[in-house]
Structure 1
Amino acid sequence: MPNVELLSEDSVSPEVQEIFAQLKEKHGEIPAPFRAMAHHPKYLKLVLNKMETVMGSDVLDLPTKLAIAFAVSTLNKCDFCISMYAKQLHGVGFTEQQLIEILAVIDFVTAMNHFNNGMLVKPE
């Protein structure tokens, strides 16, 4: 259960209703985190601007960004984000094997990090 009420379209200001309409058009729904953030409209706008800036940039392609987001979400143990990014990765053509490969990379790099930290191995 969320720590704050997930606001609905009819319980927010006209300004947030407009934001919700844009989210609904883009995502087919109003994602729960944005319904929670609606309690603080300035912060909601800041986060959406940041999302558009980062995810809308063409410096990295979208599948790469989604793979990074999936990996970070896995490390942060964010069930909502893991599910969302896995769905989006499937939507851009990732296979089951590719999702598992991302987790395999996390597993390998994490193990090497622990080994190097434990052995105090430093760059030369």
Structure 2
Amino acid sequence: MARIANVSREQLPEFEPMFQLLEETMGYLPNNMLSMAHWPELLKAFGGIGATILQQGRVDRGLKQLVAMVASTANGCHYCQAHTSHSAHNLGVSREKIEAV
């Protein structure tokens, strides 16, 4: 049961491009983003870092997620491993490659 109610997405139109990028990458919008919206400066900073990392550039977005998987594994965070592997798959990384990591 949530202790802090999420801010409605409809109340956050300025963050819609970031939300769409997260949905494209992860397949859904994580609730923590809507919780962070109680402190808009935090959401803007956190989302800005994520959007900068996840945007398409010289390094393929799928490869970026594989790097995130390695970091999650090195830190022993099974929760993070689940999210990064799911995101990698959403970005077209094969199951074989994900399992090899």
Fold match by TM threshold 0.5: yes
TM-score, normalised by the number of residues in structure 2: 0.70
Query: How far does residue 91 in structure 1 lie from its aligned partner after superposition?
Result: 2.1
Size of the alignment, in residue pairs? 96
Cα distance in 2 between the residues matched to 1:71 and 1:6 = 32
SS in 2 for 1:88: helix
Root-mean-square deviation (CA, aligned residues, Å) is 2.8
Runs of 5+ unmatched residues, structure 2:
none
Give the counterpart letter for 1:82 in structure 2: Q
TM-score, normalised by the number of residues in structure 1: 0.59
Question: With CA pairs under 8 Å and 6+ residues apart, which has the higher RCO, 1 or 2?
Answer: 2
- Choose 1 or 2 for highest CA Rg: 1
Percent identity reads: 21
2:13 to 3, 13, 18: 18
Runs of 5+ unmatched residues, structure 1:
103-124
SS in 1 for 2:70: helix
SS in 2 for 1:39: coil
CA contact 2:7–2:35 (8 Å) conserved in 1: no
Cα distance in 2 between the residues matched to 1:31 and 1:94 = 21
